[in-house]
Every structure is written in structure tokens, then in C-alpha cells.
């Protein structure tokens, strides 16, 4: 009974779901990443966090690595923004990050260094809005690169192109559960074949909220849930924009895949033919 009543006292009101539509429009930033960290800013504890945090504060007090240098344990959160390409995932991430900054929270943005389309110092949306970031090969290097003191003072970590980070699960779990960070993750849930992409879906069980956004089908204008690859390449990871990919509805994904797979097959058999022709010519010339 005691245990049940203690558990009840730990339960806070239901978490509100993050909806990017309720967030203010962001202003583009052109300053270097360091300016995103406001060391003077106070971390804001939302009411729904208080009972849980306070209940654990005595346990956490014995574990100095769980305490911020502001002298108290702060609960973290994980919010996932997923969907196909061109759905506005990066836009929503930047809006959320801007909203956190407006609340005086210190923020840093990370993206994968695999995507160098717009350089390595900014997250850039498809319509050109920019925000300074660090481009990293993995997430585990982040706190070390930032340094323990700066990491401790950081409230919010935004991650773009999350599908490219193999260590996403471990990073998010530690950052939210142990280090008290709010982690906002944007990434593709599926690849061009609609297979799960990287670890984005693995963090769903860890998350406070999941937002799946949709784009507009490039063919018919209906809601697009999928990304069609227009080229013959078949590797999972292939950096590109509208030159390589288009957002499509289910109907146009299915019909588009038929056409593209047939084209890929023709190009492949053509390549086999060309290669054997070149080989034959080479042998004949020897
Ligand atoms: N088919 C498209 N090709 C190019 N740009 C598009 C297309 N559809 C939408 N966009 C633009 O992309 C913006 C969303 O960009 P972004 O937030 O970077 O999306 P995501 O991160 O989901 O790929 C939209 O506001 C729109 O201006
Ligand atoms: C579908 C798909 C996409 N990619 C790459 C293409 C882009 O570089 C990024 C997605 O960027 P966005 O911000 O979501 O527009 O991922 C890939 O490598 N493989 C795929 O199957
Ligand atoms: Zn369509």
C-alpha cells in the first residue's frame, strides 16, 4: 500500500504532446554555434516535472554526475519529429529550438556530418532557413567536444538527420534520463524503400512525444507519407534533395516504385551488357 501511494505521488499529470504548429515562426540565425549557449539562462522546470524530480532529488543527490552545477536534478524529455523528406521536420525542429531559446533555455543543435549539402556549420531547411549547428560523425563525441562544464549548463539538444546516427538510442537515453536534457530529434522514420531508417524508431519507447509529419505528393498534391528515390542508386544512404527524392502519397509511391524498379533493372542489364562488351573488346584486342 505504501509503495502504491508512493508511486501515485510520483505520477505527474499527462505529458502534453508537442505540436510544432503551436510554435512561433523562427527567425533565421547566422551567428556561430557557440552563441546558442546562454550560460546565464535559467533552466525552466515545467509544473508536470516537479513531483517526479523532487521525489528523486534525494536519490540523485548521492550521484553527483546527475546533478547540474545549478545544484539540482532536472528531468529530461525526448521529442521525436519524423516523416518523409520535405515534410517540414527540420522546420519544426528549428521552431521548437527557437521556442526553447525564447524561454531562456540554452540550446545546441547537432546534425550528421554525412550531410554536407549546405556546409557543416548550419542546419538548413529545404526553403533555406538556417540555424548554426555542429556537424558530428556520432553523438557520443558531443559532450566531450563541448566539454563537461558547457555540457552541464546545456538545457536543450536538437538533433537533425537523426537517421544517420548509429548511437542515437544510447545518447538520447543518457541525455534525458541521466543528464536532464530536453532532446528534440528530427529524422526520417523510413528510407526510400519504406524500411525503418537507422535508429529513429528505436527511440520511440524512450520518447515523451512523437510527431509524424506529412509532405505534399509531388504528383497529385495529396498528403505524402513516403519518399521516392528517382535515381538508379540502391544504397540506403544517399545524400540529396529534390534532385534525387520526391515526396509521394501511397498510390504514387506504389506506381512510382514499379516504374523506377523497371528502369533500374534495364539500366543494370545494360551495364552488364556494356561491361561484357568492353571485356570482350579488351580480350579480342589482346
Ligand atoms: N517537393 C519539394 N521539393 C522541394 N522543396 C519542397 C518540396 N515540398 C516542400 N518543400 C519545401 O520544403 C520545406 C520543408 O523543409 P524541411 O523543414 O527542410 O523539411 P524536411 O526536414 O522534412 O525534409 C517546405 O516548407 C517547403 O517550402
Ligand atoms: C529517403 C532517403 C533519404 N536519404 C537522405 C537524403 C537526405 O540527404 C536526407 C534526408 O534529409 P531531409 O532533411 O529529411 O530532407 O537523407 C537517404 O540517405 N536514404 C534514403 O532512403
Ligand atoms: Zn499522389
Sequence-separated (6 or more) residues with CB below 8 Å from residue 107? 36, 37, 97, 100, 101, 154, 155, 156, 157, 158
pTM of the model: 0.77
- Residue by residue, pLDDT tens for the chain (286 residues) are 433 343 333 333 222 323 333 333 443 332 333 323 332 233 333 333 333 333 333 333 333 344 444 445 678 999 999 999 999 999 999 999 999 999 999 999 999 999 888 777 899 999 989 999 999 999 999 999 999 999 999 999 999 999 999 999 999 999 999 999 999 999 999 999 999 999 999 999 999 999 999 999 999 999 999 999 999 999 999 999 999 999 999 999 999 999 998 888 888 787 776 776 666 666 566 6
Please state the atom number of ligand 2 nearest to the C-alpha of residue 115: 8
Q: Catalytic one among 161, 233, 237, 279?
A: 161
Pull the grid cell for residue 15: 505529458
239 lines ligand 2 (CB under 6 A): yes
| 132, 36 Cβ separation under 8 angstroms | yes
Distance from residue 248's CA to the centre of ligand 3 (Å):
5
Amino acid at each position: 500500500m505504501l509503495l502504491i501511494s508512493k508511486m501515485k505521488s510520483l505520477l505527474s499529470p499527462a505529458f502534453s504532446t508537442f505540436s510544432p504548429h503551436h510554435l512561433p515562426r523562427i527567425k533565421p540565425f547566422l551567428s556561430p554555434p557557440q552563441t546558442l549557449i546562454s550560460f546565464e539562462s535559467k533552466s525552466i522546470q515545467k509544473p508536470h516535472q516537479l513531483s517526479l524530480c523532487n521525489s528523486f532529488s534525494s536519490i540523485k543527490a548521492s550521484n553527483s554526475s546527475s546533478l547540474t552545477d545549478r545544484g539540482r536534478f532536472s528531468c529530461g524529455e525526448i521529442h521525436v519529429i519524423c516523416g518523409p523528406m520535405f515534410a517540414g521536420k527540420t522546420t519544426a525542429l528549428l521552431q521548437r529550438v527557437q521556442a526553447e531559446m525564447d524561454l531562456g533555455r540554452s540550446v545546441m543543435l547537432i546534425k550528421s556530418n554525412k550531410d554536407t549539402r549546405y556546409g557543416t556549420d548550419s542546419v538548413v531547411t529545404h526553403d533555406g532557413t538556417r540555424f548554426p549547428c555542429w556537424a558530428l560523425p556520432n553523438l557520443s563525441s558531443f559532450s566531450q567536444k563541448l566539454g563537461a562544464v558547457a555540457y552541464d549548463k546545456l538545457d536543450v539538444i536538437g538533433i537533425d538527420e537523426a537517421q544517420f546516427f548509429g548511437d542515437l538510442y544510447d545518447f538520447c537515453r543518457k541525455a534525458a534520463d541521466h543528464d536532464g536534457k530536453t532532446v528534440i530529434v528530427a529524422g526520417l522514420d523510413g528510407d526510400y524503400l519504406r524500411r525503418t531508417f537507422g535508429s529513429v524508431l528505436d527511440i520511440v519507447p524512450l520518447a515523451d512525444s512523437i510527431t509524424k509529419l506529412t509532405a505534399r505528393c509531388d504528383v497529385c498534391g495529396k498528403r505524402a507519407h513516403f519518399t521516392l528515390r528517382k535515381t538508379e542508386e540502391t544504397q540506403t544512404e544517399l545524400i540529396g534533395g529534390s534532385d534525387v527524392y520526391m515526396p509521394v502519397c501511397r498510390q504514387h509511391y506504389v506506381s512510382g516504385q514499379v516504374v523506377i524498379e523497371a528502369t533500374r533493372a534495364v539500366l543494370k542489364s545494360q551495364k552488364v551488357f556494356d561491361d561484357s562488351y568492353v571485356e570482350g573488346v579488351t580480350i579480342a584486342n589482346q
